Structure 1
């Protein structure tokens, strides 16, 4: 959720997947520059009763001072103390923090971002401290002091109630097309249980050969999805694949099938995670001459980038078309070969110029083409003309 702080012109945000534990654990160090003469490191117990960040907490605290546990309930009486950090010593930079006094008798540190959020949602009165009740939360590894009266707290509280109830969704309860909430408070549509495909890189021992990918079947998994826009600015799916649900899905938001399930499933069928890429289905299509010329000129831009094309109907038949130099009107088409490095291990790339001439001459001589890639199910996976 975003809101604008008009005085500083910034948008202040806070996530609604902040975890609010039921119990916190506090360790201490002696510090003369604090009001209480001790500084606290506050951590928490997770839903399984395990102390989080326990190793760093134990390493930080003074073992001569007994730690304490507190119920994490809305509490009033917090007081802003002073800013610390924001300096450079040798190569180390100490991030800026603000110290806060907890009415239970200790001081701890919060980030400047947390301070701004607090001041947007609560008043700080000189001599009295912060008005209202506050509760501890964690955004990943970072402690966040939350004003109970903030507009986000209601949603954060609802989310945490679900976490603490541990009433996780079981696989037999899943409904195709229904919308679910994950443990990290994201919403996904359940698409079904399918074989999930991935890829892995293989590096040949022969350095003259390029690395390549092979398909890997990860077995049947529960597939959840939500719509997104990919780097080509086209509608796509963001997938969440889960082999065993465990505590990953915490709530059904709506059991009704989403209106665009059919459209989402069509996008899923075009994903290589649903159906793997099949090289045997590759299609090499000769560019229209005008399209080829326009594409090369569009792509080179101010930095004179080259354009990759195919001059033979196989994956190794690739070449690059680029302007001969910044002053020239001519272009070159060249292939690249991996050869053992002159400097020992590894390899280097050797360029082999095949022809110099105009773009029209290059098109006529080499019949420049692009490569369309298809999935095993026959769906178009990658349109080479868009690369």
Structure 2
């Protein structure tokens, strides 16, 4: 079970009368977060019977819960209702938990026929989902420690930050503080009067950057990072004041990110494929995916020379080279549209000989490689 589960100090219970419950009363339980905000209030208000007064309870470890019955897991008018299990709360009402929560409870507590669940439980929330947690479960101590920090509002202040130290966020992430740097982003600018739309690089000012090592979708080393204009309540504890031995390596990864240093198109390099590499890359991609997948290349030394290679579905040895061409729009007077135009059909070897395909390596202002066009 995830340890970023929130355990509120109080719960608020609304009710509906239900004949199909043991107590004749079904409950909808919500809570106040660590900022005192009542979560899910709107849906709770629309669901509950306003003729039945809601009740507030301290969310303390409580015993006497009893499993009742499964509900849901049916289709009505194309809508599928997820399966839930109703649980009796010893304070005189029933509520619903997910099947996943039930399985977790049964892994960590005994259910005795005629007596109910052994041990004490507390209400908690994983995102928007209510979960009932056994106090004797191995996760409870860590979850409680995490929530104690949240409730005590023991937030880290900016003046306390140490470069390379490891911190815990309120989302229970363990991240290394990399430093405070300019944060670069891109803003979409819509073209007007015949101009093309484009992205504009913008500096959003100094941000605190926290990061951890990860792998990207290509299964290569990468950096997961969050950028914070101000800390607020996001950082709740320091796990280690020692500078991690991985800091230099992580900082090298950071220097290759466009939010740390913006992209500089003037540094682009257009690199020629060797014939063997070009043919291997195209055939491997088509073999791994499908004939309708294309591979982007360049047939000149500028971004306007972009083209794509796509396989011929009728001939495994034939390939098409397409470019995007601007043509006058039939529907927008004075405007234009882009169309695919095939400029070559034949073998990969002949395509390479005729067009000398290239890939584009993109660099940042700091000179670091941002993205290689020869990546799979």
2:156 counterpart residue number: 169
| Counterpart among 249, 252, 256 of residue 238 in structure 2 | 252
**2-side partners of 1:172 and 1:203: how far apart?**
41
Superposition pairs of residues 190-339 of structure 1, within 5 angstroms: 190-205=177-192, 209=196, 211-301=197-287, 303-304=290-291, 305-327=293-315, 329-339=317-327
Comparing 169-178 and 90-99, the one that deviates more: 90-99
TM-superposed CA distance for 1:258, in Å, is 0.6
Offset, 1:100? 0.6
- 1:7 aligned residue: none
RMSD: 2.0
Alignment partner of 1:100 is 2:84: no
1:56 to 43, 46, 64: 43
- Alpha-carbon distance between aligned partners in 1 of 2:195 and 2:275, rounded to the nearest angstrom: 33
Partner of 2:2: 15
Task: Tell me how far 1:212 sits from its aligned partner.
Answer: 3.4
SS in 2 for 1:316: helix
Match of 1:386, SS?
coil
SS of equivalent residue, structure 1 residue 232: coil
**1:282-315 Cα deviation digits (max 9, x unpaired):** 1111111221222222222262233221111111
CA distance in 2, matches of 1:208, 1:217: 24
Stretches of structure 1 lacking an aligned partner (at least 5 in a row) = 1-13
Shift of residue 164, structure 1, vs aligned partner: 0.9
2:22 corresponding residue in structure 1? 35
Shift of 1:96: 1.0
Identify if the C-alpha distance between structure 1 residues 79 and 340 changes in structure 2 by more than 3 Å, giving closer, same or farther: farther
Deviation at 1:39, TM superposition (A): 0.7
| CA–CA distance in structure 2, aligned partners of residues 245 and 75 of structure 1 | 36
Compute the TM-score of the two structures, normalised by the length of structure 1: 0.91
Distance 2:281 2:190 in 1: 32
Q: How many residue pairs end up in the alignment?
A: 373
Separation of aligned partners in 2, 1:297 and 1:347: 34
Unmatched segments (≥5 aa) in structure 2: none
How do 1:68-87 and structure 2 match up within 5 A? 68-87=55-74
CA contact (8 A) 1:208 1:347 kept: no
- In structure 2, what is the Cα distance between the partners aligned to 1:60 and 1:329? 63
Which of residues 357, 361, 364 is equivalent to 2:353?
364
Deviation for aligned residue 1:348: 6.0
The 1-side partners of 2:194 and 2:47 are apart by 48
> Which of 125, 130, 134 in structure 1 is aligned with 2:117?
130
Relative distance call for 1:96 and 1:331 in structure 2 (3 A) is closer
Return the offset for 1:201.
2.8
User: Which segment is superposed worse, 166-175 or 88-97?
Assistant: 88-97
TM-score, normalised relative to structure 2: 0.94
Query: Is the 1:41–1:108 Cα contact (8 Å) retained in structure 2?
Result: yes
2-structure distance, mates of 1:106, 1:253: 41
Give the CA deviation at 1:191: 0.2
